[in-house]
Amino acid sequence: MNKKNRRGVFRAIAACTLSAAMLLSGGCGSKGAQRGPGGPNAQQGGTIFVITKQSLSFWDDVKKGAADAGEEFGYDIVFREGTNDNDYSSQEAAIYDAVKKKAKAIVIAPNGKTELNKAFEEAEKNGIKIININSRADYEGVASFIRCSDYESGSVAARNAITLLQVKDPELATLKNIAIIPSTAATSEERVAGFIDSFTSQAADAIAPIDMTETNEKKVQDARSAKIDAYKKGVIQGAACSSESAAKDAAMKVLQSNRDSISVMFGTNTNTTLGICEAIEELELENDITVVGFNSDEKELAYIKTHVLDGTVIQNPYMMGYVGVRYAKRAINGDSVPSRMDTGAVFVDAENINDDFIQLMIYPDGKPDAAENTDGGEG
Amino acid sequence: MAKNNKSKGSGAYIFAGILIAIIYIINTFLVESIYWGNQEVSQKTGQANSALNKINSELTAINMDSISIAAGIIPPEDIGITMGDTNKRYGNIIAAEHQFEAIEDLSPTVVKRYNYAKALITAFKDKLDSLGTKNVQAGNEEMMADILKQEIYPLQTAASEMLISTIDVVNVETAKMNAANTKRAFALMTVMMIVAILGEIAVWLFARRAKKIRAELEEREKNLAEVDAKLKATRQKASDLAVINVLTGMKNRYALDSDVSDRLETGRFNIAVFDMDNFRSINDTYGYDFGDEYLAAVAEKLKEEFGDVAEIYNITGNEFCFLFNSSVTESQAMGIAQNIQRVMSSPYEVLNLAVQLPCSGAVYHYLPGDCLNVNSLLVKLDTALRTVKMNGGNMINTVMNM
């Protein structure tokens, strides 16, 4: 290549380089200008497994919340569930699957307190964060426990049952017994306990009126405690039921033998609440017995409108799923998360059923055009 | 032509310059639009986050006040003041909600999350109001504690989570918008870079082609110059052939005409013609080729012997004309003529044969105006020469001046 050619090639390369440099310099300037707040969630996260107890409407709302959070924060959500609320082996397999698929976190409502610990250990060993929702898992590696307290939810039901009774009888002078139809679900025991403790505590003056003739304070308290304990022991509890028809049978059985001695009936989940409502409706006891239950199945909502069901406690499964994934994201990013969170419970009755907040709790995605949900729910 | 080539080459560089200028201008506008687009996004994000943080902090403060009342930290006589504070704080929340809702073009995801938070805040406030009116003043502390623990506190926690989530979603949306802006800008700039590089390559190829064409033109010019030179040489050769006898290499009759014509009017000079006697016998005996060789040998000898004193012309086959230099006098001319006769009559070896022929000559001491033209001059000389030949030849005659 002679000198003349070299000069020509040099000029061509110089012109191209200059153009490229100008473009790049423009690009560099714009890149700096584009740096916005970004936030901690700017990057795409990975996969989070959401493992629920079983296939019921309650868990559908949990999934809706989880799916929304996954979409908002850039995570792929994989859903798994047990076949029933005792099926921990399906959940165990789901955890191992999460390990295999290199999930970043697991959000789980365990079907057992300790049965999944081995799988949890394996997951933790692989760097997977564990977020526990709904019912407690006795495992130390749980980053956060998000739930609506079953005991407190039972208490909410009791407190509102008393408020309803006080509408007709402010002093509860005619207060009679409580009848409870529990479900076979793991949540039932605490709900029943919360209901009975709160009811007897808040209706203590009616259950055990203070003996004004007795001057010994201790004797007065002991006498009251004894009466309250006796009231608690006298609470009518039907057999634990796993289906609506079984709950109806149990409620019918209780009512046929105790209909005149019951002020309040309490169902601990959808099936038992619906069973009680069917029995009350059949026996035409709507005006005689206050019925409170759990969850917000369409049939339950219909019973509220016809005043067969006086009120129901609803939890916030959508919030549970949403916050579960949100806390999982925070744990993945190394941010601190609260060790526990109570998503709260709300009592729904004919008076507040149309409130915006209640409607949002019942229908996280907006009210459907037609009633589609009839399969019952369980929290 | 060279100037034209130069302008062709510089055209490529002008084009490159214009291309770079256009790219620079587009780039400037692009960066400007990205900057202002991001400014708008940042401003919107700042407003949204400010409003949401305000709501959250006021909500937390209200909750703290509520817990303080329930825990008995605030004395009963100050509860009214605290509840007044709560109302003011809730007023701030409403104002911040209006500030947030006034922001235009928020994404449906952000609006959905905000609406969820707002519904929880409203429920929280309603529950708080109902607690205040029904229980706080009635002093039902157990129920108040239960409501706080079971309903109000979870509502505040959930509302706070939703507000923080809304902030996070706003930030995620902002990051997405910025990422989309960045992606779009880089895509545009990449396209522009490709266009620029292709343009520069085109310019480079164009310049290279122009350079090649210029080299080809230069080569053609060079070839044409060579052809022109050859043509000129050929013309010169043709011209020379017109006035030179090919056989002897001496000037011919036309050259003599050209050389002498101008001198006839005023010139004074000595001129002579010589001719082989009976030269035809050589041709007849040995052939024309031999005759030609013999003449060439004689001519060569004559140029050698007399080229310094006279211009020698081969005006016909074996007839030679000597135009003596102007320095040669009449008497010298006669002496030289005798020498010419001697040289021409000498034996010459041609093709291994020695050949000798006598020759005759005529000398003319020309005076100005003697002849009108070269033809009449030669007629005079030829007449004198013929006279000698008629008298047996081998002699030199003189043209008489008349």
Of the residues B35, B52, B150, B156, the best mutation for testing chain A's interface (the one with the most A CB atoms within 10 Å of its CB) is: B150
Q: How much is the ipTM here?
A: 0.79
Of the residues A357, A363, A367, the best mutation for testing chain B's interface (the one with the most B CB atoms within 10 Å of its CB) is: A357
Q: Do B165 and A23 touch (CB under 8 A)?
A: no
Q: Which of residues 349-368 of A touch B (CB under 8 A)?
A: 355-357, 360
DSSP sequence for B69-137: HHTT-S-GGGHHHHHHHHHHHHHHHHHHHHHHHT--S--HHHHHHHHHHHHHHHHHHHHHHHHIIIIIT
How is residue A199 written in tokens?
Answer: 């009811």
Tell me, yes or no, if B180 comes closer than 8 A to chain A by beta carbon. no
Tell me, yes or no, if A131 comes closer than 8 A to chain B by beta carbon. no
Confidence of residue B37 (pLDDT cuts 50, 70, 90): confident
Q: For the segment B66-79, what is each residue's pLDDT rounded down to a tens digit?
A: 878 777 787 777 77
Which one, of B132, B123, B101, lies nearest residue B114 by Cα? B101
Q: Do B171 and A343 touch (CB under 8 A)?
A: no
Tell me, yes or no, if B119 comes closer than 8 A to chain A by beta carbon. yes
Distance, in Å, from the CA atom of A296 to the CA atom of B401, rounded to the nearest integer, reads: 160
Contacts of B199 in chain A (CB under 8 A): 19
Contacts of B32 in chain A (CB under 8 A): none
DSSP sequence for B308-358: TTEEEEEEETTEEEEEE-TT--HHHHHHHHHHHHHHHHS-EEETTEEE---
At residue B329, the pLDDT reads: 92
pLDDT at B89 over 80: yes
The more confidently predicted of residues B139 and B185 is B185
Q: For the segment A235-266, what is each residue's pLDDT rounded down to a tens digit?
A: 999 999 988 999 999 999 999 999 899 999 99
Q: For the segment B381-393, what is each residue's pLDDT rounded down to a tens digit?
A: 999 999 999 999 9
User: Residues B138-158: what's their mean pLDDT?
Assistant: 80
Contacts of B119 in chain A (CB under 8 A): 356-357, 360
Tell me, yes or no, if A14 comes closer than 8 A to chain B by beta carbon. no
At residue B10, the pLDDT reads: 65
What's phi and psi for A291, nearest 5 deg?
-110, 125
pLDDT at A374 over 60: no
**Taken in order A31, A36, A40, A43, is the CA torsion positive or negative?**
negative
Q: For the segment A291-319, what is each residue's pLDDT rounded down to a tens digit?
A: 999 998 889 999 999 999 999 999 889 99
Half-sphere exposure of B160 (CA within 13 A, CB side): 18
Query: How many helices (H) and strands (E) would you count in chain B?
Result: 10, 7
The more confidently predicted of residues A219 and B219 is B219
Distance, in Å, from the CA atom of B386 to the CA atom of B380, rounded to the nearest integer, reads: 10
Q: For the segment A259-298, what is each residue's pLDDT rounded down to a tens digit?
A: 899 999 999 999 999 999 999 999 999 999 999 999 988 8
At residue A20, the pLDDT reads: 54
Q: Percentage of residues in chain B with pLDDT exceeding 90? A: 40
User: Residues B175-200: what's their mean pLDDT?
Assistant: 80
At residue A245, the pLDDT reads: 93
The pLDDT mean for chain A works out to: 85
Least confident interval from A156-170, B164-178, B192-206, B221-235: B192-206
Which one, of A320, A43, A11, A44, lies nearest residue B203 by Cα? A11
Considering B10-24, B232-246, B262-276, the range whose residues carry the highest mean pLDDT is B262-276
The pLDDT mean for chain B works out to: 86
Cα–Cα–Cα angle for A236, A240, A245, nearest 5°? 105
pLDDT at B3 over 60: no
User: Residues A157-171: what's their mean pLDDT?
Assistant: 91
At residue B117, the pLDDT reads: 92
pLDDT at B86 over 90: no
Q: Which of residues 7-26 of B touch A (CB under 8 A)?
A: 13, 16, 19-20, 23-24
Contacts of A26 in chain B (CB under 8 A): 24, 27-28, 30-31, 189
Contacts of B130 in chain A (CB under 8 A): none
Q: For the segment A105-143, what is each residue's pLDDT rounded down to a tens digit?
A: 999 999 888 999 999 999 999 999 999 998 889 999 999
Q: For the segment A334-362, what is each residue's pLDDT rounded down to a tens digit?
A: 999 999 999 989 999 999 999 888 998 88
The more confidently predicted of residues B238 and A28 is B238
CA A82 vs CA A141, A209, B115: distances in Å = 22, 48, 33
Distance, in Å, from the CA atom of A332 to the CA atom of A104, rounded to the nearest integer, reads: 7
Tell me, yes or no, if B125 comes closer than 8 A to chain A by beta carbon. no
3-state DSSP percent of chain B in helix, strand and coil, to 5: 75, 10, 15
Interface size, chain A vs chain B, as Cβ–Cβ contacts under 8 Å:
178
Bridge partners, residue B273, by sequence: B321, B362
Which one, of A300, A305, A277, lies nearest residue A379 by Cα? A300
Q: For the segment A1-43, what is each residue's pLDDT rounded down to a tens digit?
A: 455 555 555 555 555 555 555 555 444 443 333 333 333 333 4
Contacts of B46 in chain A (CB under 8 A): 37
The more confidently predicted of residues B5 and B158 is B158
CA distance B195 to chain A (A): 10
Cα–Cα–Cα angle for B393, B395, B398, nearest 5°? 120
Considering B65-74, B240-249, B302-311, the range whose residues carry the highest mean pLDDT is B302-311
3-state DSSP percent of chain A in helix, strand and coil, to 5: 50, 15, 35
At residue A42, the pLDDT reads: 38
